[in-house]
Amino acid sequence: MPSAPDHPPDLAALRRAFEASRPLDWGDDSLAPTDIARRYGMKATRKSLELLQRTAEIEPRVTAQFLASIPTGSSPYQLSRRVKSPESLARKLRTWSDANNRNQVEDLLRYTVLTESPDELVASTRSTTEALTDHGWRVLYAMHSYTDGSRYKGVHAHFRTPDIDRLEIQWHSVSSAEVKELTTRWYEVERSLSTSDAERTAAREKCIEASAQLRAPAGIDALTELGGRRVKVNNYSDSRQMVTNRRPGATESRRRPATDRDRREGIAR
């Protein structure tokens, strides 16, 4: 990835840089850098903008390689959300700093491959990965969470490319993508430290109930290796099991510190 700029970029200019090649959707996340800094500190805000500016230089090429690797019958999903927003990135950087997590951010760029049928999911995962390997991409980590009682079900992999040290790809069927969108608001409640145990339990149960309607994709149990990496099998049952103790004086509104499981096996939402 290119070296860091001398000065943090202007946010509007940064957005234009990403939009020069393809549409970009940062949702309602339109805070000015001063507001982001007020929430998460100047250090995290500055690093967020610098990382995104460096990413903007290589993103069109990385995205083109991703799109060229999607097999016939599959399609990109929500491609306009491929770039993590400045506020979301600053929040993650601040949270990780508080938890003394020095790992690289895995989802500066994040992509999703969509299949019409769950039974096409495993073949699409393998085909996409094989094609990306031809572009010099390498699998760093892979997992699926099609397990009983998991509040979230999907297939994820982290890759290293010739241009960026780490990015994420998810594979979903139409039905699992719909469930993911449906359960996101409950997931946010379930992992929050500012909600009561009863509220979190109710939210988690809603996620589990919705995800239970998804049938396991054909061949998912045989998906044990991807790009030379073992595919881990995760069960996202209760994010409270991953909560670490807050520092004295930490506010309820602050995100929970990231644990080892968050860093390596978390869900990019």
Domain annotation covers residue 72:
yes
Determine the structural domain holding residue 39 and report its residue range: 11-174+215-237
Domain annotation covers residue 209:
no
Domain annotation covers residue 86:
yes
Give the domain CATH number at 55. Answer: 3.30.460
Q: What is the token pair recorded at 216? A: 């396991």
Q: What total number of domains does the chain contain?
A: 1
Domain annotation covers residue 256:
no
b vs e for 44-56, b when ≥16 Cβ sit within 10 Å of the residue's Cβ?
Answer: bbbbbbbbbbbbb
Domain annotation covers residue 123:
yes
Q: What's residue 31's pLDDT? A: 79
Strand ranges inside the chain, DSSP E: 74-76, 110-115, 138-144, 155-160, 167-173, 225-226, 229-233
Name the 3-class secondary structure at 140. strand
**Of the ranges 62-66, 79-83, 199-203, 260-264, which one carries the lowest mean pLDDT score?**
260-264
Q: What's residue 1's pLDDT? A: 60
DSSP 83: B
HSE, CB side, 13 Å, CA atoms: give it for residue 45: 15
Please state the length of the chain: 269
Q: What is the pTM of this model?
A: 0.83
Q: What's residue 247's pLDDT? A: 36
Q: What's residue 264's pLDDT? A: 37
**Of the ranges 34-38, 40-44, 144-148, 190-194, which one carries the lowest mean pLDDT score?**
190-194
Domain annotation covers residue 207:
no
DSSP 251: -
Q: Report yes or no: 86 and 48 within 8 Å, Cβ to Cβ.
A: yes
Name the 3-class secondary structure at 61. helix
Domain annotation covers residue 95:
yes
> Which tens digit of pLDDT belongs to each residue from 152-164?
999 999 999 999 9
Confidence of residue 29 (pLDDT cuts 50, 70, 90): low
The mean pLDDT value for 80-91 works out to: 94
pLDDT of residue 250 exceeding 70, the answer is no
The mean pLDDT value for 197-223 works out to: 95
Domain annotation covers residue 6:
no
Q: Report yes or no: 147 and 211 within 8 Å, Cβ to Cβ.
A: no
